[in-house]
């Protein structure tokens, strides 16, 4: 029987669509006058400062110690590499273009899952989705490959690969680690790693209020608050329905770039958006489960573990820690 989202569910859904859709805008503003290590450090340190007390209050720290090796690997491919690459890429790319390229994460996730032993058969619809999505990436990136933006596009594609690998690590190696613990400690580890580089590249003058607001927004709103809202959304509506917001994030990223930064909204962007989004939906489509198969909406409060979120969800840039891509996370 179809389950109708509650009013609270819709509110949380709308919040997540925005919270993990605007990091690209804030990163673009931040890299105007501060270094890439400063951007990553500010975001991870502020996020960890908010989330770690919640984790310490809940206990279960022994489970973190037991999983420290896969947690380090997860942190590397979800935050340490991607957030630096994403920030560096946005020194040359528009925030809207970056957000659209990251939207290809579900497609990359399907390909990597297939290459690493996923036994699920790819039917004609999913193969079509892969081709359509990759065509969208080609339409978007093709005109820029001959110029100075080629390196930046490559960086974003590496981010997409990292965002696609991270959920596999979480699903296969971190199933016993609560999602909040994973997010908080991953952010804390990343903040420690980037402390030295941030100090070495500390700005000579105080950044403008606009840049400071972007840094604070990235850490407190797009990271700490976003994770809290994300976990509440999954508990409220279940994983499958909750993660639909990841298909809205690219539209938010494009709209934010156009409205607040005056970035162009061209026919190429609109066409590539339609192709990438349509391809992602088709490529991640699954067969209807048997009647006795538990549905995502049956996930009970407090039972959301890292492995319950499927590959191909963003991060942050982001990108979307946890398992979802924030795009930022």
Q: How confident is the model over 236-289, as pLDDT tens digits?
A: 877 666 666 777 888 889 999 999 999 998 888 888 888 888 887 787 776 544
Contact residues for 20 (Cβ-Cβ < 8 A; gap 6+): 222, 226, 230, 245, 246, 249, 314, 315, 316, 318, 319, 320, 324, 325, 326, 327, 328, 329
Cβ atoms of residues 292 and 260 within 8 Å: no
Confidence of residue 55 (pLDDT cuts 50, 70, 90): very high
pLDDT digits (tens, 9 = 90+) for 25-50: 999 999 999 999 999 999 999 999 99
Place of tokens 């061209």: 266
Who has greater pLDDT, 284 or 94? Answer: 94
Residue 33: Cβ-neighbour burial (10 angstroms; 0-12, 13-18, 19+):
middle
Residue 294 has pLDDT above 80, yes or no: no
Most confident of 144-153, 171-180, 271-280, 303-312: 171-180
Q: φ and ψ at 117, to 5 degrees?
A: 100, 15
Cβ atoms of residues 87 and 26 within 8 Å: no
Task: Output the pLDDT for position 323.
Answer: 43
Task: Output the pLDDT for position 207.
Answer: 94
Residue 319 has pLDDT above 50, yes or no: no
Buried b or exposed e, range 200-215, using 16+ CB within 10 angstroms:
eeeeeeebeeebbebb
Residue 82 has pLDDT above 90, yes or no: yes
> Per this entry, what is the length of the chain?
329
Q: φ and ψ at 317, to 5 degrees?
A: -75, 50
Place of tokens 């190696």: 173
- Paired strand residues for 44: none
Closest CA to 166 of 155, 179, 154: 179
* Verdict on whether the full-model pTM lies above 0.85: no
Q: φ and ψ at 68, to 5 degrees?
A: -65, -30
Task: Output the pLDDT for position 326.
Answer: 39
- Number of CB atoms found within 10 A of residue 234's CB: 26
What is the rounded CA–CA span in Å between residue 304 and residue 234?
7
Beta-strand pair 317-318/327-327: antiparallel
Structure tokens, 202: 């500390």
Task: Output the pLDDT for position 126.
Answer: 78
What is the rounded CA–CA span in Å between residue 169 and residue 24?
25
What is the rounded CA–CA span in Å between residue 241 and residue 265?
29
Confidence of residue 298 (pLDDT cuts 50, 70, 90): very low
pLDDT digits (tens, 9 = 90+) for 96-105: 889 888 888 8
Q: Calculate helix-pair angle for 23-30, 81-89, nearest 10 degrees.
A: 70
- Number of CB atoms found within 10 A of residue 256's CB: 22
Cβ atoms of residues 277 and 140 within 8 Å: no
């Amino acid at each position: 029987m179809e389950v109708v989202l509650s009013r609270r569910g819709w509110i949380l859904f709308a919040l997540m669509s925005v919270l993990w859709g605007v990091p690209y805008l804030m990163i673009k503003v931040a890299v105007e006058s501060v270094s890439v290590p400063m951007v990553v450090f500010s975001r991870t340190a502020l996020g960890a400062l908010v989330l770690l007390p919640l984790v310490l209050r809940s206990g279960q720290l022994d489970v973190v110690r037991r999983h420290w090796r896969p947690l380090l690997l997860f942190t590397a491919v979800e935050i340490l590499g991607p957030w630096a690459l994403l920030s560096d890429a946005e020194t040359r790319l528009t925030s809207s273009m970056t957000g659209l390229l990251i939207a290809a994460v579900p497609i990359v996730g399907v390909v990597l899952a297939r290459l690493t032993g996923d036994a699920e058969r790819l039917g004609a619809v999913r193969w079509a989705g892969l081709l359509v999505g990759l065509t969208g990436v080609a339409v978007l990136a093709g005109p820029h490959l001959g110029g100075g933006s080629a390196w930046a596009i490559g960086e974003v594609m590496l981010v997409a690969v990292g965002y696609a690998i991270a959920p596999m690590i979480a699903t296969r190696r971190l199933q016993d680690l609560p999602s909040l613990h994973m997010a908080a400690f991953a952010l804390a580890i990343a903040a420690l790693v980037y402390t030295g580089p941030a100090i070495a590249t500390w700005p000579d003058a105080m950044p403008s209020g606009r840049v400071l607001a972007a840094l604070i927004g990235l850490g407190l709103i797009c990271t700490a608050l976003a994770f809290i809202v994300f976990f509440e959304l999954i508990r409220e509506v279940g994983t499958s329905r909750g993660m639909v917001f990841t298909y809205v994030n690219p539209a938010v990223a494009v709209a934010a770039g156009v409205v607040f930064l005056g970035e162009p909204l061209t026919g190429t962007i609109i066409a590539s958006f339609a192709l990438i989004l349509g391809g992602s939906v088709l490529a991640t489509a699954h067969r209807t489960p048997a009647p006795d198969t538990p549905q995502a909406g049956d996930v009970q409060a407090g039972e959301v573990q890292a492995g319950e979120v499927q590959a191909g969800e963003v991060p942050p840039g982001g990108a979307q820690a946890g398992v979802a891509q924030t795009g930022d996370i």
